[in-house]
Chains A and B, each alone.
Chain A
Amino acid sequence: AQKVTQAQTEISVVEKEDVTLDCVYETRDTTYYLFWYKQPPSGELVFLIRRNSFDEQNEISGRYSWNFQKSTSSFNFTITASQVVDSAVYFCALSEAKTGGFKTIFGAGTRLFVKA
């Protein structure tokens, strides 16, 4: 069965600090996709990144970076030099190829507070 665990319920940092959000997943499928979404106070989830199970290259996009490690089944998300606008709930999600997008499973989310 597929499962996504985000052990950090809430994280509070001061602006300009770096912060890492953890995501651990479980799947029996060999082909799967991992996602990160951001949910600001306005409510809608915003897609940030997708990674497939065959691509373990880390990715950097501006202040955001992602570390995908199949050996530990983790897909962690780091925000460098955090800003107040980064305050949101962040969700990690998993979609298995065999079940398709019907069964995208979301983690419980990590609420990030960035204080000025």
Chain B
Amino acid sequence: ETGVTQTPRHLVMGMTNKKSLKCEQHLGHNAMYWYKQSAKKPLELMFVYNFKEQTENNSVPSRFSPECPNSSHLFLHLHTLQPEDSALYLCASSPLGPISYNEQFFGPGTRLTVL
């Protein structure tokens, strides 16, 4: 595996379910990000982790719970979601931490549908 991988690619869940999204980067990067991409809305930054430490929580509801056990893995735990949470969830990583000039490397995303 190379680059940034995300599993599952597609997920359908009910509002009472609990599920997790997984992201893994094989690039040796130190920073990892979760973004939400909804139809007709700009890409929204959700969380940033730098060397496993959360450095940014962009006012995300508590029904989204991130976990970063090491610099290569990032999870997004989901519980009691709402239909408006249906979106494409993108994971990204960047070298040398979330420095302003670093480009980000993205995974293919998880398409989440909440019924």
Contacts and interface: CB of A to CB of B under 8 A. Distances in A.
Query: Are A and B physically bound partners?
Result: yes
A93 B44 CA distance: 12
Contacts of A96: 100
Interface residues of B, number: 28
B68 interface: no
Given A102-B56, A104-B45, A45 B90 contact: yes
A101 B102 contact: yes
Residue among A46, A91, A104 with most chain B CB within 10 A: A104
Contacts of B48: 101-102
A43 B107 CA distance: 8
A64 interface: no
Nearest to B40: A108
B101 A107 contact: no
B100 to A, nearest CB: 4
Nearest to A5: B42
B94 to A, nearest CB: 6
Contacts of B66: none
Contacts of B99: 100-101
B101 A52 contact: yes
Interface of B: 4, 31, 40-43, 45, 48, 55-56, 88, 90, 92, 94, 97-109, 111
